């Protein structure tokens, strides 16, 4: 295994420094993908990367810029494609807003080392800072994910803390059109599950963004997510024999055990 960190970034200048500082002790190369941020955020990133790549730290942070804002999913895909091209096998993806507890990251990395073919995903454990509307929306998405996979294997399809097996993940979005915004997290998990990639869930503590900035647009992103669920449902229908066959095989293995 050869693992790096990928951080999709769009206008989170107040949180990114703390996120990067918390990740530094992991000793992994880090790629920040700037998804068309404003001038101030670009300046913050440039300064941060220069400071982190001082002579004593060996240039561990790479800055990759997208010319215009394309969405979180587009940033993750661009970062993972670049990482795969550089010879990395896995990418730890973490959001730039400081909502994830970095102390949980070693557990995800260890799970990835023991199950290198699997997608390792955080399963969010929220505190009281999360808006109720976002929480209820997640429950709806969880329901449709279980319908579209005919499985409870995916416990949280919207958590932005994951370890992707790069070869399998990049192959999915090169073959299929994947949502590029807030619909990406869920769609890539469902499609990886359809492709037979195991999903391992592990609890992780999540707070609302450290800098108070959320890029979730209630109307726009709910439209994207609704369209994604519809697309996934019809995709599930023609995969139904395969998914049912997997359920039968899993039950048979459990019975033998």
Domain boundaries, given as residue ranges, for the chain: 3-132+154-214
1-10, 75-84, 135-144, 218-227: lowest mean pLDDT where?
218-227
pTM (predicted TM-score): 0.84
- How high is the pLDDT of residue 136? 63
128 has pLDDT over 90:
no
pLDDT in tens, 152-170: 889 898 898 999 999 999 9
- How high is the pLDDT of residue 223? 67
Q: Yes or no: say if 121 and 154 are a contact pair by the CB < 8 Å rule.
A: yes
Give residue 212's pLDDT band: very low, low, confident or very high (50, 70, 90).
low
123 has pLDDT over 90:
yes
- Cα dihedral sign for 235, 151, 79, 172? negative
DSSP 98-146: S-B-GGGHHHHHHHHHHSTTSEEEEEEEE-TTS-HHHHHHHHHHHHHHH
Closest by CA position to 206, among listed 130, 141, 105: 130
For the domain spanning 3-132+154-214, the CATH number is 3.90.550.10
Round to whole Å and give the CA distance between 144 and 125: 20
Tokens of 176: 């299929």
Strands (E) across the chain are located at 3-9, 30-35, 61-66, 90-94, 119-126, 161-165, 199-206
Greater pLDDT, 132 or 154: 154
Instruction: Give the strand pairing for 161-165 and 90-94.
Output: antiparallel
pLDDT in tens, 25-60: 999 999 999 999 999 999 999 999 999 998 556 689
- Cα dihedral sign for 4, 33, 154, 188? negative
- How high is the pLDDT of residue 180? 84
Q: Yes or no: say if 70 and 152 are a contact pair by the CB < 8 Å rule.
A: no
Give residue 4's pLDDT band: very low, low, confident or very high (50, 70, 90).
very high
């Amino acid at each position: 295994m050869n693992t790096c960190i990928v951080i999709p970034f769009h206008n989170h200048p107040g949180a990114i420094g703390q996120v990067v500082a918390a990740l530094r002790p992991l000793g992994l190369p880090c790629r920040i993908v700037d998804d068309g941020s404003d001038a101030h955020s670009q300046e913050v990133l440039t300064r941060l990367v220069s400071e982190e790549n001082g002579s004593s730290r060996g240039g561990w942070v790479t800055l990759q810029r997208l010319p215009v804002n394309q969405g979180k999913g587009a940033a993750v895909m661009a970062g993972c494609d670049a990482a795969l091209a550089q010879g990395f096998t896995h990418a730890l993806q973490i959001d730039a807003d400081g909502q994830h507890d970095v102390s949980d990251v070693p557990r995800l990395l260890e799970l990835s080392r023991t199950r290198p073919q699997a997608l390792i995903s955080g399963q969010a454990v929220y505190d009281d800072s999360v808006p109720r509307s976002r929480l209820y929306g997640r429950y709806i998405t969880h329901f449709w994910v279980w319908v579209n996979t005919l499985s409870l294997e995916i416990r949280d399809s919207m958590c932005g803390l994951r370890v992707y097996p790069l070869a399998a993940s990049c192959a999915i979005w090169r073959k299929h059109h994947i949502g590029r915004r807030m619909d990406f997290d869920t769609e890539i998990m469902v499609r990886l599950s359809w492709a037979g990639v195991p999903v391992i869930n592990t609890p992780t503590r999540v707070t609302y963004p450290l800098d108070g900035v959320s890029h979730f647009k209630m109307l726009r992103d709910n439209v994207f997510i609704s369209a994604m669920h519809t697309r996934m449902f019809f995709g599930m229908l023609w995969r139904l024999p395969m998914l049912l066959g997997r359920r039968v095989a899993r039950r048979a293995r459990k019975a033998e055990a």
